[in-house]
Amino acid sequence: MKAFPAYIDLRGRPVLILGGGAAALAKARLMLAAGAKLTLIAADFAPETKAELETQARLIAREPVAADIEASVLVFIADTEESEAWRWAEVARLAGVLLNVVDQPELCDFTTPSIVDRGRVTVSISTGGAAPVLGKRLRADIEALLPPRLGALAEFADRYRDTVKATIAPEERRTFWEEFFDGPIAAQILAGDEARAHEAMLALVNRPQAEEKTGAVHIVGAGPGDPDLLTIKALRLLQRADVILYDRLVSDEILSLARRDAERFYVGKAKSNHAVPQEEIEARLIEFARQGKMVVRLKGGDPFVFGRGGEELEALRNANIPVFVCPGVTAATGCAAAANMALTHRDHAQAVTFVTGHAKGEADPALDWSALAALKNTLVVYMGVTKAETIAAKLIEHGRGRDTPVAVIENGTRENQKIVKGALGYLAHLITASEIKGPALLVIGEVAALADGETLIDIIARQRAAA
C-alpha cells in the first residue's frame, strides 16, 4: 500500500485552493460536497469558477501568503506554475498542512481518489497515482454493482441502531444485522418502499427472539441468453443469492455470474417433459424462504412474459413470503435487436402482439386468428416452431397474404443464434430447411422483411456448397 486510505470529516473546516481555473473548480466541487469551509485564492478567476462558486466559497483575488496556508487543514494547488507550486509546497510542509498539487504526484501528501458516492456509503478507489484511468474504470464497475439507494439503506440502519441495541442481545446483534441486510426489509428499502420497511422493521425488532426468520424470493428475468443483457439489478441479486432455482433457457454464462457458494437447482421444463411440476417449484421456493434464505427464481427472458412468473408470485404471496420481481429483456425484444428488426417500425406496423403457439398435445393453438391476421400488426409467436404450419395456415385462412414476410430467430442473442426469413406461405418449409428446432421465435408481418437473416435461397445455396 503506497498511501493509507482514511476518511476525513471536513464539515466546517478550512480548506484552501490556490488557483481559479478548471482544475481548481473540480477540487472545489469535491470539497463543497464534503461540507468544507472553502477559500480559493488566485490572481484571477475563470468566469465559470466565479459563477459556480461565488455564493458557496470565499474567492480572494490576490497573491497567497504563508498565513493563508498555515490557517488551513488541507491545501490544494491547482492551475499554478511549477516553480510557484514548489514554493507553496515548501510552506505547507513547514506548517505541517497536508497538500495536494494537481498533476504533480511527487509533491502530494495526499491524492484524491475516484469516488462512488451513495450518501452515507462511499467507496474510494486509488491506484496510488499510477493509473488514474484505471481508477475511473473501476469506479464505473463499482457504480454499476452498488444499488442506487444504498445510502438510504445505511440511513435506515442508522436510525434503528439504538432500538436494536435496546432490544437485541449483544451476542445476537451481528447476526441480526447480517439477516437484515440480506433480507426482505433491505430489499424493500432498496426498492424505495420505506413505509413498509419501517413497519416490518418494527415488527422484527419487537419479535420474540426464538421466532423463525423468513427469507425472501426474487423472481428474476435472465434475458434471452446474452449475459450482457442481464440487468444490473439481476446481477446484484445473483451475487447475493443463497439459493437459485433456474430454468432451461438460462444460459451457463449467466449462471457463472452467480455467487459461487449459492445452492443451484435446475427446475427447467422441456416441452412435454415437465422436469419439476410447477406446484413443486412453488413449494420449494416457499420452503427455502421459510428457512430464511435469499432465494432467486431465475427465468429466461422476462418472468412475466410466458414465464409463469405470475403464478409463482401469487403462490408466494398466499404463503406470506416477501417476494420481489426483477424484469428481464424478453425474447421478442432481444431477438428483434439481434436481427436489427424494429417490431413497430412506423412504416410497417401499428401494433405488436405476443402470443404463444404452445398447445396441449395434438390440439391447435386456441387464438383469435381474425384479430391476429389484421394488417399492420407484427405478430410474435413464442413456442411456435412445432405448430408453425398450422399457425401460417390459420393466418392465411383469416386473410393474411401468403407473401407476408416472416422471420424465425433461433437462440437469439446467443453465440449459436440463427436467423432465417421468407414468406408466410412457406414458413414450415423455411423452418425444416434451416433445421430450426428451438428455442425460437416466429415474427410475422411486414417488419420481418427488415430482419438480417438468410433466405431459403441462401440456405439452399449454402447447403449445396457444403455438399
Other C-beta atoms lying within 10 Å of the C-beta of residue 238? 24
Other C-beta atoms lying within 10 Å of the C-beta of residue 319? 17
Contact stretch for ligand SAM (CB under 6 A) within 98-106, 294-302, 362-370, 458-466: 294-302
CA angle 168, 174, 176 (to 5 degrees): 55
Is 458 among the residues known to form the active site? Answer: no
Contact stretch for ligand SAM (CB under 6 A) within 128-136, 155-163, 327-335, 342-350: 327-335
- 243-262 residues near ligand SAM, rule: CB under 6 A: 249
Sheet holding 263-266, edge to edge: 263-266, 243-246, 294-299, 216-221, 323-326
Q: Which residue is nearest to ligand SAM (CB)?
A: 301
Q: Which of 247, 293, 394, 421 is catalytic?
A: 247
Burial class for 85, CB neighbours closer than 10 Å (0-12, 13-18, 19+) = buried
* 434 touches ligand SAM (CB under 6 A): no
Q: Which of 91, 335, 431, 444 binds ligand SAM (CB under 6 A)?
A: 335
* 451 touches ligand SAM (CB under 6 A): no
Residue 135 or 300: the one with the smaller Cβ distance to ligand SAM is 300
Could you tell me the three cell numbers for 366?
A: 386456441
Question: Cβ contacts of residue 223 below 8 Å, gap of 6+?
Answer: 229, 230, 231, 234, 254, 300, 301, 328, 329, 334, 413
Displacement of CA 6 from its chain's centroid (Å): 30
Residue 331 or 395: the one with the smaller Cβ distance to ligand SAM is 331
Is 252 among the residues known to form the active site? Answer: no
Q: Of the candidates 144, 414, 145, which has an alpha carbon nearest to the alpha carbon of residue 253?
A: 414
Q: Of the candidates 338, 258, 342, 351, which has an alpha carbon nearest to the alpha carbon of residue 297?
A: 258
Contact stretch for ligand SAM (CB under 6 A) within 238-246, 276-284, 436-444, 451-459: 436-444
- 373-402 residues near ligand SAM, rule: CB under 6 A: 382-383
Q: Which of 326, 409, 431, 436 binds ligand SAM (CB under 6 A)?
A: 409
- 47-66 residues near ligand SAM, rule: CB under 6 A: none
Contact stretch for ligand SAM (CB under 6 A) within 86-94, 298-306, 386-394, 429-437: 298-306
Could you tell me the three cell numbers for 251?
A: 444460459
Burial class for 43, CB neighbours closer than 10 Å (0-12, 13-18, 19+) = exposed
Least distance in angstroms from the C-beta of 251 to ligand SAM: 9
Q: Which residues bind ligand SAM (CB under 6 A)?
A: 224-225, 249, 299-302, 305-307, 330-331, 335, 382-383, 409-414, 438-441
